Amino acid sequence: MKNLRNCTLPELETLMKELGEPKFRAKQVYEWIWKQSAGSIDDMTNLSKSLREKLAQDYYIPKVKIHHSQYSSDGTIKNRLQLHDTHFVESVLIPTEKRMTACVSSQVGCSLSCKFCATGYLPRKRNMDYDEIVDEVTLLNGQAEKHYGKHLSNIVFMGMGEPLLNYANVMKAIERITSPDGLGMSPRRITVSTAGVAKMIKKLGDDGVKFKLALSLHAANDKKRNEIMPINETNDLKSLIEALNYFYDKTGNEITFEYILFRNFNDSEKDADELVKIYRQVPADLVNIIEYNPIELAAFEKPEDDKVMAFMNYLESKKVNARLRRSRGKDIDAACGQLANVDHIPATPTAP
């Protein structure tokens, strides 16, 4: 059986010819797939029963389903999504006064093993296919309409997995999401976050992407970053700075740094000063300072409020455009770094 969504419009036109159907049927099938998000061939009610039966002999639509949802007191909704092969991923709908944001996953598990992230303790089972990522976004858009009467305004690839290690599927998904015959969302409202894969950041530049890029920095020297993000051992800060500048030179797109504060690890004035130095080497628009959200498997702690404010004040004194980002959905483990299929997490905590 073949995935019908892997057929381009010209391929569908060829298929209709082979089945003895008029050419316009191809466009009808294409619109059912991408505009109306058909869950099965049987849903395509303006096709004859005989055509649907012929298609169903060789093709299927592997739809993603919401397995269950959790609702936070702040309005955030976390979803456990079931893929066609029974794997699970998690995604989050984050409503605010001005935005309706979908935080989406791109892999089942993750191979990068970041020490502060729940997903990092999961094995990477596989990449998500591009149409599964599109389904994920479509489901969250439907949820936004149902619960808040609004369409999605923003998408962030900050869920489970490293997007740049699933490059082809993520790029194809964004192409469908931004296409006029898809969701028609502006690429400027999409942010792809990476733990730092220098080679692929440069490829984004070469490919002339239109979306925003965020680097999960979290430590501004190689020694500390190696401790919490093993990827830094092969993608050090020098190579990332070079890659980010290359990306900006090629695209002019917005770059953001993400920096989680960990108590007595990266929250001192010296750490802040090192962050300032990194910031000045890259044309970054913003530094998001993120409060740490505890997970059972890591021994990190959130800094005291006065330490956080001292850190922010130091950045402000050095003219760094920094924002303190308060996490949403903490009461349902939907905040930054907390996404995981808990049944599969090992039980040994990792100290900083």
* 211 vs 347: CA distance, rounded Å: 38
pLDDT of residue 341: 56
> Which of 212, 151, 158, 223 minimizes the C-alpha distance to 185?
151
Per-residue pLDDT, averaged over 42-57, amounts to 96
Residue 346 scores a pLDDT above 90: no
* Top-confidence residue, 61 or 332: 61
pLDDT of residue 297: 78
Bridge partners (DSSP) listed for residue 325? 290
pLDDT of residue 182: 83
Residue 333 scores a pLDDT above 70: no
* Top-confidence residue, 328 or 249: 249
Percent of the chain past pLDDT 70, that is, above it, reads 93
Among 187-201, 250-264, 269-283, 295-309, the range scoring the smallest mean pLDDT is 295-309
Active site residue 336: yes
pLDDT digits (tens, 9 = 90+) for 3-20: 999 999 999 999 999 999
Inter-residue contact 137 to 96 (CB < 8 Å): no
Q: Where are the domains of the chain?
A: 2-60, 65-344
212 CB neighbour count, 10 Å cutoff? 21
Active site residue 90: yes
Residue 296 scores a pLDDT above 70: yes
CATH of 2-60, one of 3.20.20.70, 1.20.1260.10, 1.10.150.530, 3.40.462.20: 1.10.150.530
Give 294's pLDDT tier (boundaries 50, 70, 90).
confident
Can you tell me whether residue 339 is helix, strand or coil? Answer: coil
pLDDT of residue 202: 98
Highest-confidence segment of 67-71, 85-89, 201-205, 300-304 = 201-205
* Top-confidence residue, 121 or 346: 121
Per-residue pLDDT, averaged over 231-252, amounts to 98
Inter-residue contact 212 to 254 (CB < 8 Å): yes
Percent of the chain past pLDDT 90, that is, above it, reads 84
The pTM for the full model equals 0.91
Catalytic residue among 21, 90, 136, 258: 90
pLDDT digits (tens, 9 = 90+) for 77-95: 999 999 999 999 999 999 9
Catalytic residue among 7, 110, 114, 336: 336
Question: What one-character DSSP code corresponds to residue 350?
Answer: B
> Which of 27, 62, 75 minimizes the C-alpha distance to 47?
27
Residue 319 scores a pLDDT above 50: yes
Q: How far is CA 166 from the centre of its chain?
A: 11
Q: For the chain, what is the mean pLDDT?
A: 92
pLDDT digits (tens, 9 = 90+) for 103-135: 999 999 999 999 998 888 888 999 999 999 999
Fold (topology level) of 65-344: TIM Barrel (3.20.20)
pLDDT of residue 179: 93
Structure tokens at 287: 């530094």
pLDDT of residue 233: 97
Give 332's pLDDT tier (boundaries 50, 70, 90).
low
pLDDT digits (tens, 9 = 90+) for 173-220: 999 999 998 889 999 999 999 999 999 999 999 999 999 999 999 999
If 0-12 CB within 10 Å is exposed, 13-18 middle and 19+ buried, where does residue 306 land? exposed
